[in-house]
Chain A
């Protein structure tokens, strides 16, 4: 069964550094998402992406964040200047149709900012 994959599984970075989290969505899916989960808390929506542009973003997704689909398979989340409070698990998800379709999550990248 196809799955969403993410790399790296764990990223440690120093405050102020840039990080890029990578995702490979399920191949026939057209909608892509990033979510964040701070340890022990709920899953929070960051951004959705369709047809090479952002379709929706949350208040968390400020100017420090950006997303890109650099080729036909990868979907990336970049944080330009990381802060301590960016430490969280970041999940990529994809779906075949828009939000009322099943969203399948990747295994996540644990980002630790020191």
Chain B
């Protein structure tokens, strides 16, 4: 089945710096890769996603890159702000069962210090 590995588990940056979180997946047939942001005590919130037919997608200060050959995808946050502090999860769908099962990474706790 699908296995999603996420690194690092914690990341501390100064405000204004960039942050990069990396994930690898095992199922080469996976075709959709979302990123979720979860603030303390809140729901996971979809912030950006990428499909396997593109290599990069950008939305203001957030970008995601996908390398299908290496089976990894990354989240890039530029000009970080204190409100970016949260736990970030990557995910990928399990191909069997009609892609109806999202497998999540273990999460990265991002701390942005003013």
Chain A interface residues toward B at CB < 8 A: 31, 33, 41-45, 48, 50, 55-56, 58, 91, 98-108
Contact = CB atoms under 8 A, between A and B. Distances in A.
B104 A56 contact: no
Nearest to A102: B46
A100 B44 contact: no
Given A45-B103, A99-B32, A100-B51, A105 B98 contact: no
Contacts of A100: 31-32, 51, 93, 99
Interface size class of B (residues with CB under 8 A): 20 to 34
12 contacts: A43-B36, A56-B100, A91-B43, A98-B98, A99-B102, A100-B32, A100-B51, A102-B46, A103-B34, A105-B43, A105-B44, A105-B45
A91 B36 CA distance: 13
Interface in B59-106: 89, 91, 93-94, 97-106
Interface of B: 31-32, 34, 36, 42-46, 49, 51, 89, 91, 93-94, 97-107
A58 B44 contact: no
B100 A31 contact: yes
B101 A45 contact: yes
A50 B100 contact: yes
B101 A48 contact: yes
A43 B105 CA distance: 8
Given A55-B98, A102-B34, A42 B43 contact: no
Contacts of A102: 34, 46, 49
Given A56-B98, A56-B101, A99-B100, A42 B44 contact: no
A98 B100 contact: yes
A56 B100 CA distance: 7
Nearest to A107: B43
A93 B41 CA distance: 16
Nearest to B30: A100
A82 B70 CA distance: 42
A92 to B, nearest CB: 10
B97 A56 contact: yes
